[in-house]
Amino acid sequence: MSPAQQASLRDADTFDYVIVGSGAAGSILANRLSADGATVCVLEAGPPDNSPFLHIPAGFIKAVFNKKYAWQFSSEGTAQTNGRRVPIPQGRTLGGSTSINGLVYNRGQAADFDHWASLGNPGWAYADVLPYFKSMERRVGGDDRYRGRQGELPVTDIDWIHPLCEAFIAGAVEQGIPRNPDYNGAEQAGVGYFQRTISNGWRMSTAKCFLKPAMARKNLDVRTYAQATRVLFDGTRAVGVAYCHPAHPSRLRAVRASREVIVACGAINTPKLLQLSGIGPADLLRQHGIDVVRDLPGVGENLSDHYSVRIVARVKNSKTMNELVKGFSLAGQISRWMMKRPSIMALSPSLLHYFWKSTPELTAPDLQGVFTPASYKEGYVGVLDDFPGMTAGVWQHRPDSRGQVRIQSADPLQDPIILANYLADERDQVTLVRGIRLARRLLQSQALAPFSDGEALPGPLCESDSELLDFARRFGVSSYHVNGTARMGPADDKYAVVDAQLRVHGVQNLRVIDSSVMPSMPSANICAATMMIGNKAADLIRKA
């Protein structure tokens, strides 16, 4: 630590715990730790969650591309994406990505967590983590063996039913995919409606459910516009965090942590902060003039994400969301929402799920699909098409391609270089093409035939495997499910960053608690698993 940093830290406020990031894990940690009487400071780089677009579910489209509330990251272009940079926005406000995401609550398969434990991470098998999923959720319906009733997070069923959705489900059942009322219960495989983090027409972010209630406690201090620039060390012991207002980077402040510093910035900002703090691949740190606190080659490696592709069909004989968002129809939907009646204003972007197998011999799904009675230009969730349409998307549950996140300078305000390496592994290419064929078959089912007016994207002329793969390269997008860049594993694993207690290897009083610790991709949207990690980590810290 430099003399200036030492002086800054001497004058800093002191807390038991300093949590960097107020997202899916950070907000839950702040709630749990402050409930025990510990003093906690939360540093959030973004602003308060004041925008209505962060609270109205349909505001997703406005929030996710707003640089005020979301980091506008993008992956480097590669040959497998036809040179395109792929946007990967991440939440930058109280609640993190839970304030801007697609509101889907999806845990994953039991085998995902059993696999984590098998990699040398005791305490992370499904039987170990299920109580933490249950204790944070408030769910109506389902089996008590799998679902929680008393938690802070409402998990609800959709109340806006569209004829196209019911026809899609019927078509999937035609083709051997069973209807599944609870994919978060005993079995994931099947088709049905997504469960959402929506209640009474409003988004239920972790800021709303966990952080805001805890902010009434005098021992919790939440600081917005506080971008962490470096974890401060005394030797190899984390003692605090330096931060700044993003608009005033030269005015550094610091907070001291008497017990632990907890990094919960997500799978892109967490490795960036660790590297800026001297923890990461030594050659990379020296290249940028950063003193090495601990040489950990795995910091920023093992990046994984779901690369999704969407098939679009034109619709006849039914009014889709493309029409419902215009003119008097939109006014009617807003009115219904204000009266707490079913409305498109209180929907997640994807309404239906289908979890299925790319080949019949598999014993569990390796694909996740989504359906919505709407279509977007070029299949990208952002701007609705001018024609009535419906969309079936698909991605591979557990891609084999791996990427990396690396700082490109010692400037804490500069975005890191993100190389996602989508479709780099040929196995991913094969599986995704099979998934596209499945999505296409589902849109061509007999049940949907009365409503289908022909495939718009990629179109009937795109048929061979090579043509479908080229389509995926040209139009595939991130699902924003980045993880794995500070993965959990034993100390003898060269590329492990944290142990099973989520403590950073080789240093003291520093943990990472967010999606970056996932040793492998869950078979799901990662938000629910990240919240579980925060909930379980609170117990790990308490026991320590």
CA distance 243 to 454: 54
104 annotated ligand-binding residue: yes
**DSSP for 168-206?**
HHHHHHHTT--B-S-TTTT---EEEEPEESEETTEE--H
What's the confidence (pLDDT) of residue 369? 98
Res. 9: pLDDT tops 70: no
Cα dihedral 184, 516, 533, 91 sign: negative
In tens, the pLDDT along 292-302 reads 999 999 999 99
The single residue listed with the structure tokens 């691949």 is 281
Give the pLDDT confidence score for residue 378 in this predicted structure. Answer: 73
Lowest mean pLDDT, pick from 23-32, 324-333, 378-387, 434-443: 378-387
* Residue of higher predicted confidence among 105 and 5: 105
Question: What fold, for 3-50+206-303+484-543?
Answer: FAD/NAD(P)-binding domain (3.50.50)
Q: Output the six-digit token pair for 134.
A: 């249950």
7 pLDDT above the threshold of 90: no
Distance CA 34, CA 477 (A): 38
Q: pLDDT tier at 327 (50, 70, 90 boundaries)?
A: confident
| Contact partners, residue 158, CB within 8 Å, separation at least 6 | 193, 194, 196, 347, 348, 351
Token pair 């990208």 is at which residue?
Answer: 380
Look-up: residue for tokens 């001497």?
Answer: 10
For 454-464, write each residue's pLDDT tens digit.
999 999 999 99
Q: What is the pLDDT of residue 544?
A: 87
Q: Give phi and psi for 386, each to the nearest 5.
A: -80, -15
Q: Which residues pair with 308 in a beta bridge?
A: 477
> What's the confidence (pLDDT) of residue 1?
57
DSSP state letter for 360 = T
What confidence tens digit (pLDDT) does each residue in 465-512 have? 999 999 999 999 999 999 999 999 999 999 999 999 999 999 999 999
Residue 103 annotated as binding site: yes
Can you tell me the distance from the alpha carbon of 85 to that of 92, in angstroms, rounded to the nearest whole number? 21
Question: Is the C-alpha dihedral spanning 301, 302, 306, 309 positive or negative?
Answer: positive
Model pTM score: 0.97
Catalytic residues: 481
512 has binding-site annotation: no
Residue 3 has pLDDT above 60, yes or no: no
Give 329-364 pLDDT, tens digit per residue: 989 999 999 999 999 999 999 999 999 999 999 999
One-letter amino acid at 280 equals G
Residue 278 CB neighbours (<10 A): 20
Q: Where does residue 333 rank: exposed (0-12), middle (13-18), buried (19+ CB within 10 A)?
A: buried
Domain boundaries, the chain: 3-50+206-303+484-543, 159-193+307-396+425-475
The domain 159-193+307-396+425-475: what is its CATH number? 3.30.410.40
Q: Which of 39-43, 240-244, 330-334 has the lowest mean pLDDT?
A: 330-334
Q: Tell me what the mean pLDDT of segment 507-534 comes to.
A: 98
Whether residue 59 is annotated as binding a ligand: the answer is no
Burial 219-234 (b: 16+ CB within 10 A, else e): bbbbbbbbbbbbbbbe
pLDDT at position 480: 97
pLDDT at 325: 87
- Please say if the pLDDT value at position 425 is more than 90: yes
How confident is the model over 245-259, as pLDDT tens digits?
999 998 999 999 999
Least confident of 176-190, 368-382, 502-516: 368-382
Paired tokens of 242: 């330096």
* pLDDT for res 389: 96
- pLDDT (0 to 100) of residue 383: 78
Give the H or E element holding residue 168: helix 163-174
Side chain identity, residue 496: A
Instruction: Give the model's pLDDT for residue 6.
Output: 58
Closest-CA residue to 406 (of 414, 398, 396, 395): 414
pLDDT at residue 306 greater than cutoff 80: yes
List helix spans (H) across 389-462: 426-443
- The Cα 237–Cα 508 span in angstroms is 5
In this prediction, residue 35 has a pLDDT band, given cuts at 50, 70 and 90, of: very high
pLDDT attached to residue 5: 57
Q: What is the pLDDT of residue 540?
A: 98
